[in-house]
Structure 1
Amino acid sequence: MPAAEWRVARLATRRRAAVTRAQVETVSGRALGLFGLVFGAQTLPLALEQSSALVEGAGPALMAVLYGAMAALAVASIAKVAVRVAALAFAVLYALALAAWPFIVADPAAMEGETPWLYYICTVATTAAVVALPTPIAAGYTIVVPAFYGVIRLLPAGGGSPPLLAVLDAMYAVILGSVVLIIVTMLRQAAEAVDSAQEAALQRYDVAARQHATENERVKVDALVHDSVLTTLLSAAAADSPEEQALAARMARDAVKRLDEAAAEGPGALDTVGLPVLVRRLRAALTTFSAPFTVRVVNAGGVELPVEAVDALYSAAVQAMVNSMQHADGPGHATRRELRIRGVRGGGCVIEVADDGVGFDRHEVPDERLGLRVSIEERIANVGGATEIRSQPGHGTTVTVAWPAAEVGGGA
């Protein structure tokens, strides 16, 4: 195996073995869903017991809301769909339940010396905040919510515990939440550093691999020209008899055939890239734009694409977003823009750039405008992909680019 190809293959092996940010988020979400179910099952008997001390109907309603949110979180984490939304919903619902607790306890005497069952799922709520929120906000939640529980613990509705016990309970919840926050944050930072290093290394090795393939192609073409074309020309120049001329004609046909075969083969891509790399590149491009785009990513983990396809999808998507910023805005209208990326498990990708702007009539676009025809459609077609452009005046525009071509039209 040539050195450049061996280095690329080794790099691909290392990339598959490394932990990525997407994997960290998946593991964190699934751990949260699993432990949420475990903690919920453990607190169920206590929750049923304390329901008699609450306002009639409040106990079952509270359990239905919180346990239902935990079940939804577990399902979302397994399916890897809307995990952050489910985690955020549970964190918010838990904080609201904690705030409502003093008002729904109808018999404070029945709670004397008891620990409200909400305490035992406090760590689930702080972990959900870590998964769903940016680190600074999650850190605030990890401190404020347990501290608020400590205050409730002092009240008759919270058991009327001594101040020291209330502080210890709150500190214990803060410590557990902080440990989870630190671990997840460190894993995220480490995974991001690995992702960045891999992306930079892939770009360097991609350049080296392309140069190597180009050099191999040049040597192959040089040998072909020397062995077939020049030999054919020399034979044709020296051909005097009909037999020699017929031989030269056959040699010419053979040379043309070999040239056609060489042109059809061409240099190919030597490596694949994970779809999360393309997602990060597009997110980085968005930071340089003056207009905001809402980004939605589905099924990015585990999808590998050829380097040439990634380059074409990235360039075409950026061009579509630039076109939207240049042409979609109308007077007195705030245009909403979306970038939707969907991975296909078999090894494909669909990207949609959509806006609700002024739209346009495709047939009225002048031929000299190359933004759609060359920068998007031909670029994607050259790597075996397909493009679909849907737009009407006054009804916005959606540009869909997909690789391979069979994926276009599937929707994101």
Structure 2
Amino acid sequence: MPGADGRLTRPVDARRAVSGARVETVTGRALGAAAIVFSLQTVPAAISQSAALVQGASAALVAVMYGSAVALAVAMIARMAERITAVVYAAAYAVVLLAWPFLVEDPAALDGQAPWLYYLMTVATTAVVFSMPIGAAVGYTLVAPALFGMVRLQPQGGSADPLTAAFETGYSIILGMVVLVIVAMLRHAAEGVDSAQDAALARYDVAARQHANEIERVRTDALVHDSVLTTLLAAAAAETADEQQLAARMARDAVARLREAGTSTSAPDARIELNVLVRRLRAALTTFATPFTVRVVNAGGVELTVDAVEALYSAAVQAMVNSLQHADDGTRPTRRELRIRGVRAAGCVIEVADTGVGFDPAMVPTERLGLRVSIEERLAGAGGTATITSSPGHGTTVTLVWPEGVDRT
């Protein structure tokens, strides 16, 4: 909506609200921290119980579980392959738990203590909750503690009495379910926030267009009133040679101003968040039969002009359509990526890349408008640049930059 000064104001910043990305980030980093902390807590037990295992087994188990914990923590901090690493940790825990009875050589050395793997149960169930669908998470949260309970009853698990085994199993299940419910509730709440924010940004996008059109209409009306109508009235009233010359000069000035208005961009002060462009491009991707991998970096807080958003959107969609039409050769799968990167507060770089057959840009006929008009000239007209990098057999990358040169500063 226009603010008190008549300028369009963007929606209230929702980045501090609970969003899906924020929930995944917080949950993941908490999981990584828990993996390290709980692993450190098991060190004394792992050392004391090493005498009960066959030679070399203790070192192997420690390497597998502690190595998985470190990898999990690194993945969560770096935000890379988080779900895959979490699945690997949970799978490694299940395998080690199954192998435990076969690795215990001297059950008496356990002295009735629970295997040190017990203290990592919560990390494993949380890893499944983080990385897998709700059904699989519930199943793992029930099965893993039950499996531990069966191991606990055996001599290789400390020969616990049924009550103790049931208590430890129930405790693990309850704790795992609590974590599952909390994460599920946070994700559900975040989905509602994300949906509301998407709707607000979509409305803002429409409002920005309407506001820009209104500014252009007012500017054109003022120009017609101040120049064209004034010139026509002066010409109609001109009787002397001097008055006719004045009317002629006014007419030339009015024509020049109309030409300037036709070539100028509309509503230069109207700004749109880069996230609006990201959402529009994601919506466009849903209409394609072939998927693109989407990577977005530094989109928060970046704002672009209306003309830039329209140019980047049109050029990016055309580049993706070109990839779908020309990149495949039918002999091998083609990977496609859409990479969007915000640059400081008012710049953007978009890359549409594929691993397809590629082509020689110099050999593209001039009558082919998809590259020259829809991409290159479209960006140039808005103050940006488009670069097409390709060669036969090595795929194609279309790089869209706005404003020109922002990626080199």
Same fold (TM over 0.5): yes
Shift of 1:355: 2.7
TM-score by length of 1: 0.83
Aligned to 1:302: 300
Q: Secondary structure at the match of 2:25?
A: helix
Contact 1:361-1:393 within 8 A present in 2 as well: yes
Aligned to 2:354: 355
Shift of 1:125: 1.7
Aligned ranges for residues 330-409 of structure 1 at < 5 Å? 330-331=329-330, 333-344=331-342, 346-347=344-345, 348-406=347-405
Q: Name which of structure 1's ranges 69-78 and 229-238 shifts more when overlaid on structure 2.
A: 229-238
Shift of 1:401: 2.8
Aligned to 1:27: 26
Aligned to 1:222: 221
Aligned equivalents of 1:301 and 1:175: distance in 2? 39
Aligned equivalents of 2:42 and 2:196: distance in 1? 44
Aligned to 2:42: 43
Q: Let me know the Cα RMSD of the aligned residues.
A: 3.4
Shift of 1:123: 1.2
Compared CA separation, residues 284 and 256, structure 1 to 2 (3 A): closer
Amino acid in the other structure paired with 1:299 = V
Aligned to 1:89: 88
Shift of 1:406: 3.3
Contact 2:18-2:190 within 8 A present in 1 as well: yes
Aligned ranges for residues 162-177 of structure 1 at < 5 Å? 162-177=161-176
Contact 2:358-2:394 within 8 A present in 1 as well: yes
Compared CA separation, residues 205 and 18, structure 1 to 2 (3 A): same
Shift of 1:282: 4.2
Q: Secondary structure at the match of 2:12?
A: helix
Aligned equivalents of 1:280 and 1:161: distance in 2? 56
Q: Secondary structure at the match of 1:13?
A: coil
Amino acid in the other structure paired with 1:74 = A
Contact 1:362-1:391 within 8 A present in 2 as well: yes
Compared CA separation, residues 284 and 231, structure 1 to 2 (3 A): closer
Amino acid in the other structure paired with 2:273 = V
Compared CA separation, residues 167 and 40, structure 1 to 2 (3 A): same
TM-score by length of 2: 0.84
Contact 2:351-2:398 within 8 A present in 1 as well: yes
Amino acid in the other structure paired with 1:214 = N
Q: Secondary structure at the match of 2:55?
A: coil
Contact 1:269-1:306 within 8 A present in 2 as well: no
Cα deviation, 1:250-289, whole Å, max 9, x if unaligned, reads 75676567557656462136343353x5555544544443
Contact 1:5-1:209 within 8 A present in 2 as well: no
Cα deviation, 1:62-119, whole Å, max 9, x if unaligned, reads 3333333323333333333333333333223323322332233332221241111211
Contact 2:383-2:404 within 8 A present in 1 as well: yes
Aligned equivalents of 1:173 and 1:271: distance in 2? 52
Contact 1:271-1:306 within 8 A present in 2 as well: yes
Q: Secondary structure at the match of 2:198?
A: helix
Aligned to 1:133: 132
Amino acid in the other structure paired with 2:270 = L
Amino acid in the other structure paired with 2:54 = V
Q: Name which of structure 1's ranges 258-267 and 219-228 shifts more when overlaid on structure 2.
A: 258-267
Aligned to 1:194: 193
Compared CA separation, residues 335 and 399, structure 1 to 2 (3 A): farther
Contact 1:387-1:408 within 8 A present in 2 as well: no
Aligned to 2:266: 266
Aligned equivalents of 2:258 and 2:95: distance in 1? 73
Aligned equivalents of 1:58 and 1:274: distance in 2? 53
Compared CA separation, residues 376 and 176, structure 1 to 2 (3 A): farther
Aligned equivalents of 2:256 and 2:209: distance in 1? 26
Uncovered stretches (5+) of structure 2, i.e. residues with no partner = none
Q: What's the % identity of the aligned pairs?
A: 59
Provide the aligned length of Structure 1 versus Structure 2: 406
Aligned to 1:111: 110
Contact 2:11-2:200 within 8 A present in 1 as well: no
Shift of 1:247: 5.7
Aligned equivalents of 2:62 and 2:274: distance in 1? 42
Contact 2:11-2:204 within 8 A present in 1 as well: no
Contact 1:389-1:398 within 8 A present in 2 as well: yes
Contact 1:386-1:408 within 8 A present in 2 as well: no
Q: Secondary structure at the match of 2:11?
A: helix
Compared CA separation, residues 384 and 64, structure 1 to 2 (3 A): farther
Contact 2:61-2:96 within 8 A present in 1 as well: yes
Aligned equivalents of 1:89 and 1:7: distance in 2? 52
Contact 1:4-1:209 within 8 A present in 2 as well: no
Cα deviation, 1:107-149, whole Å, max 9, x if unaligned, reads 2221241111211121112212222223333333323322322
Aligned to 1:318: 317
Amino acid in the other structure paired with 1:319 = Q
Aligned to 2:179: 180
Shift of 1:224: 2.1
